[in-house]
Amino acid sequence: MRAFIAIPCPDELKEGMVEIQENIKDLGKLTLVKPENIHLTMKFLGEVDEDKISDITKRLEFLSDLQGFDISLKGVGTFPNMNYIRVIWVGMGEGADRITTIHSEIDRKLNELNFKKDKNFHPHLTIARVKFLKKKEELRDILQKNSARDFGSFKADRIELMQSRLSPRGSQYSVIHETRFK
């Protein structure tokens, strides 16, 4: 099964992200992330044997000892850069350092199960993937205008191990395991 670890984003904070998606959707061939699928990926696992799931969840037990924390969603950016845009994302303000620390610990613990460590983790929520652009300058203008936008804040209270099923209608996510913070 295809799996990843994520912190869910509350629906009430997705309104501004959907607004940006509406503004950019006709600027090229973009795949917009469905609002219900917008999340903060802590680690993408890829294809995982089902018999490995219990080992993964055991490695994630340390998360239940962590305190919940505040995350603020700020700004819009791109990967790999503004000249070659493949992913459009919403970034983090408050909580980014905490997310990075938790990610490093998840990375370390799952490396024990032979999952590769992430080289360049950057906390974000993907809102679109870009195949090609027809109006690159217009997209850059929209992104620049939203580069410091405040999308709101929420309290991270859990991390979820998710299954991703690919279909012609797009990815469908389901929770395999949930770990709540204190």
Instruction: Clarify whether 124 is annotated catalytic.
Output: yes
Instruction: Clarify whether 177 is annotated catalytic.
Output: no
Selecting among 103, 122, 124, 177, the annotated active-site residue is 124
Question: Which phi and psi (to 5°) does residue 12 adopt?
Answer: -65, -15
Selecting among 39, 103, 122, 177, the annotated active-site residue is 39
DSSP the chain: -EEEEEEE--GGGSHHHHHHHHHHTTSEEEEEPPGGG-EEEEEEEEE--GGGHHHHHHHTGGGGGSPPEEEEEEEEEEEE-SSSEEEEEEEEBTBHHHHHHHHHHHHHHHHTTTPPPPSS----EEEEEEEEES-HHHHHHHHHHTTT-EEEEEEE-EEEEEEEE--TT--EEEEEEEEE--
State the catalytic residues.
39, 124
